[in-house]
Amino acid sequence: MLSQWHWQVAPTSIRAPLLDCAHCPSAKENSTLEQLNRRLEAAIESALLSAQKAGDLPQFEIPRIPVSPPKRAGQGDWAYPAMGLARLARKSPLDIARLIVDRLPTLDFAGKIEIAPPGFINCTIADDYLRKQIDAMLTGCQDFFQLDIGVGKRAQVEFVSANPSGPITIGHTRNAVVGDALARLLEAAGYAVQREYYYNNAGNQMIILGKSLQLRYLQQLGEDVPLPDDHYQGEYLVDVARDLAEKHGESLRNAGWQRFRDEAERVMFAWIKRSLAAINIQHDAFFNETSLFESGQIWSVLEAMRENGHIYQATHWEGADADEIADVTAKGYEPATWFRSSKFGDEKDRVMVKSDGVPTYTLPDIAYHRDKLERGFDIAVNVLGTDHFSQAQVVRHGIRALGMDPAPIDVIFLQMVRAVRWNKRLGDFEAVKQSKRAGDFDTLDDLVAMTSADAVRYHMLARSPNSQLDFDVDQVVKQSNENPVYYIQNAYVRCAGIFREAAGRGFDDDDADLTLLTESELRFVRKALELGNVIEQAVTQYEPQKIAFFAHELAGVFHPIYDEVRVLHSEVPAETAKARLRFYRACKSIFRYLLELMGMSAPERM
RNA sequence: GCCUCUGUAGCUCAGCGGACAGAGCACCGGUCUUCUAAACCGAUGGUCGCAGGUUCGAGUCCUGCCAGGGGCACCA
């Protein structure tokens, strides 16, 4: 079955090979906070065990209480709430905290360890340790922050998956940005990632698209043929028809609609790829529905489901009530092929093959996901609009009906997105109309033209998938501190500016003495070291927006320091200046990496 | 009706069962002789939709309401 893949491989060379993980980053010791919190938790657990062994604490199973960064300054970098043990240990939280701290093994990264009421253990990272991380970071953020959770594993992200019937819309754009960001984060977590695009080209929609183009073409030839209401009305098909007429003249006058469908698919796909490339997105593989028909996979899936006893022929589903039966009878349907999905928790059964013998969308969808599972990905994430929620459930039931475990497949559901602008008269936001008149936009191309690729990527990413997103086109256009895009990029630009100036003066950071750095700079390093945790959380919880929030927070730590900590200034001693230049080298490195993780550019100037 | 998402400052939104609920914007007051203004400093601003419950501890978990979005095809 593995030999029956039907994808075109996109011309991209920068991706990791899909099957060969020989050169994947190997598990290695790294020094991010991602490990520090784990090490602190382990140390606390061993302290507790030791206290139990000595009889200072009663025997109980030690619950997992994670250490977390406190909200407030002055409470250290990691806090452990010992209150959670009070009941089990039958001691006051402060006493327990004392017992733990007294027995805590030595930790090279730990500086001050304090106990605070009502029972927190606050651990501060030692300054020396932070200073060492600056040089470590300079060996490359990609390596420095590389997690080991995905090493040796293969992940697939299926996203966009818009049918080639028109341009990429605002909704697809959110999907594209979130999917690609997740793919980048998975790569940062060590996975070999494949970006896949699945599209339906076998169904009725593509037939109508072909017929629509055919009519547009005939109109170009001067024929007076109307375009029915249920056909594609978009102006873009007129452009395609005009090109066809120019290239082929009248030779296609008697061609079948299939010829036009193929042409439409080809042109639309070229357009879609161009649009996505403009925001720095490329898929590795394209998988089409038609291939599932040609290979016969849809029928083998149906057979397998039938053998497992989940398929039946009927005019209506088995649990239909009187109203539904009356409804179906009125329509006069012949028997169709049903999937008994209600057995798997669905609210009703679903039609797999219509009474006219044509499969519904669901059957190839199940076949596609079976194929995906058979390709052996450790995780396969599907980015879908929330309007596909029910459909995704049915596919899941279908996979179970095949006797397969759908566990590797996860879905990120994106809530709706719309472009809005402020309407002064109404005193409220107003949806941008779905028309193509000047100033209105509803496609990715329009969005990019009016703002920028970077702005589109950031604003589409910086929102929880669970939240609806109003893309405020006026705000996104603004080049001011109202716009986080420039706030973040400016951090990189400012670093780049220092190095331009330093180079001009022949000043470098060779032999920098990092002990000359003070609390301000170390505050930045502390924050920067959280990146490992952020990537881990983004990947394991499927929350790629976390990286956007973090980038903004880190820029928020950076700018005040930049304002205060100068390098090439008459009053800064040369040795101090060297140390600071080294610090800004690390800053520049991490901002470049963050922008790369978000698929944004890192401009040298703005 | 059923499923699902959302409701936190005037606006847009963060917030891992933990300490006094945070940013940005807007508004108000300051800061460009320095590598620095797409920036910085300061001030104002809150019954976390409502009501119960679990917990030593709830914006966070549970139940029920209220309000808004989306989905519940022999469409894709």
pLDDT tens by residue, A126-141: 999 999 888 888 877 7
- Does A25 have pLDDT greater than 80? no
In a domain, A43, yes or no: yes
Q: How many domains does chain A have?
A: 2
A162-195 pLDDT per residue, tens: 999 889 989 999 999 999 999 999 999 999 999 9
Judge if the beta carbon of A255 is closer than 7 A to nucleic acid strand B: no
Residue A284: pLDDT band (50, 70, 90) is very high
Measuring from the CA of residue A571 to each C1' atom, give the nucleotide at the shortest distance: B34
For residue A1, what pLDDT is reported? 31
Q: Which nucleotide is nearest to A416 (CA to C1')?
A: B70
* A317 CA: nearest nucleotide by C1': B74
Question: What is the DSSP code string of A464-523?
Answer: -TTS-EEEEHHHHH--STT-HHHHHHHHHHHHHHHHHHHHHHT---TT--GGG--HHHHH
A81 touches strand B (CB under 7 A): yes
Q: Strand B positions with any atom < 7 Å from protein CB?
A: 2-7, 12-16, 18-26, 34-36, 38-41, 56-57, 68-76
Gap between the Cα atoms of A189 and A546, Å rounded = 14
CATH of the domain at A94: 3.30.1360.70
Residue A64 lies in domain = 33-129
Whether A30 has a pLDDT exceeding 90, the answer reads no
Asked if residue A189 is part of any domain, the answer here is no
* Helical segments of A345-466, H only: 362-374, 389-401, 444-450, 453-461
Which spans in A151-296 are helix H? 170-188, 204-220, 236-248, 257-278, 289-294
- Does any strand B atom come closer than 7 Å to the Cβ of A292? no
Q: How sure is the predictor about A36, in pLDDT bands with cuts at 50, 70 and 90?
A: confident
Give rounded-to-5 percent helix, strand, coil for chain A: 50, 15, 35
Per-residue CB contacts under 7 A with strand B, chain A residues 351-380: 351, 354-356, 358, 360-361
**What pLDDT does A446 receive?**
86
Dist CA A396 CA A341 (whole Å): 10
Confidence of residue A427 (pLDDT cuts 50, 70, 90): low
Q: Give the residue among A366, A266, A364 at the shortest CA–CA distance from A8.
A: A266
Stated as kind and residue range, the H or E segment containing A582 is helix A574-597
Instruction: Identify the pLDDT of residue A479.
Output: 59
pLDDT, residue A482, reads 65
Please provide residue A196's backbone torsions phi and psi, each rounded to the nearest 5 degrees.
Answer: -120, 150
- Picking from A87, A111, A129, the residue at the C-terminal end of a domain is A129
In a domain, residue A47? The reply is: yes
Given a cut of 60, is residue A203 above it in pLDDT?
Answer: yes
Closest to A113 in 3D by CA, of A140, A146, A76, A155: A76
Confidence check: pLDDT of A106 > 60? yes
> Could you write out the three-class secondary structure of A109-165?
CEEEEEEECCCEEEEEECHHHHHHHHHHHHCCHHHHCCCCCCCCCEEEEECCCCCCC
Mean pLDDT of the A278-302 span: 95
Contact, A62 CB vs strand B, < 7 Å: no
Given a cut of 80, is residue A425 above it in pLDDT? no
**CA of residue A534 to C1' of nucleotide B16, angstroms:** 11
Mean pLDDT of chain A: 87
Distance of C1' in B13 from CA in A219, Å = 50
In this predicted structure, what is the pLDDT of residue A12?
29
Q: Please, what sign has the CA dihedral across residues A433, A439, A444, A448?
A: negative
> Is A393 within a domain?
no
Instruction: Classify residue A307: in a domain, yes or no.
Output: no
Segment (H or E) for A79: strand A78-81
Q: Pick from A111, A129, A147: which residue ends a domain?
A: A129
Q: Which of A26-30, A84-88, A596-600 has the highest mean pLDDT?
A: A596-600
Taking CA atoms, A7 is separated from A198, A266, A287, in Å, by: 9, 15, 5
Q: How many whole angstroms separate alpha carbon A341 and alpha carbon A398?
A: 7
What confidence tens digit (pLDDT) does each residue in A488-503 have?
A: 999 999 999 999 999 9
- Is residue A278 one of the residues assigned to a domain? no
- Return d(Cα A120, Cα A81) in angstroms, integer: 5
Categorize the per-residue pLDDT at A233 as very low, low, confident or very high, splitting at 50, 70 and 90. Answer: confident
- Asked if A321 CB < 7 A from strand B, the reply is no
CATH code of the domain covering residue A577: 1.10.730.10
Cis peptide before A544 (omega within 30 of 0): no
Residue A92, CA atoms < 13 Å, CB-side half-sphere: 7
Q: Is the CB of A564 under 7 A from strand B?
A: yes
Q: What residues are paired with A237 via a beta bridge?
A: none
| CB-CB contact of A272 with A163 (8 Å) | no
Q: Is the ipTM of this complex over 0.85?
A: yes
| Per-residue b or e along A151-165, where b marks 16 or more CB atoms closer than 10 Å to that residue's CB | bebbbbbbbbbbbbb
Query: Count of CB atoms within 10 A of residue A291's CB?
Result: 20
To the nearest whole percent, how much of chain A has pLDDT over 70?
91
pLDDT at A89 over 80: yes
Largest CA distance in chain A: 96
- Please report whether residue A308 resides in a domain: no
Q: Which class for A353: exposed (0-12), middle (13-18), buried (19 or more C-beta within 10 A)?
A: buried
Lowest mean pLDDT among A372-376, A424-428, A485-489: A424-428
8 A C-beta contact, residue A339 and residue A305: yes
Q: Which two tokens stand for residue A280?
A: 């720095």
Q: For A62 and B53, how far is CA from C1' in angstroms?
A: 27
Closest residue by C-alpha to C1' distance, nucleotide B7: A467
Residue A419 near residue A435, CB atoms below 8 Å: no
- Other CB atoms within a 10 A radius of the CB of residue A396 amount to 19
User: pLDDT band at A94, cuts 50/70/90?
Assistant: very high
Phi, psi at A498, each rounded to 5°: -60, -45
**Residue A548: inside a domain:** yes
- Mean pLDDT, residues A298-325: 93
Residue A454 has pLDDT above 90, yes or no: yes
Closest alpha carbon to C1' of B20, residue: A72
- Strands A469-472 and A417-423, sheet pairing: parallel
Q: Is the dihedral of CA A397, A399, A403, A405 positive or negative?
A: negative
- Map tokens 């039946």 to a residue: A312
Domain boundary among A104, A129, A154: A129
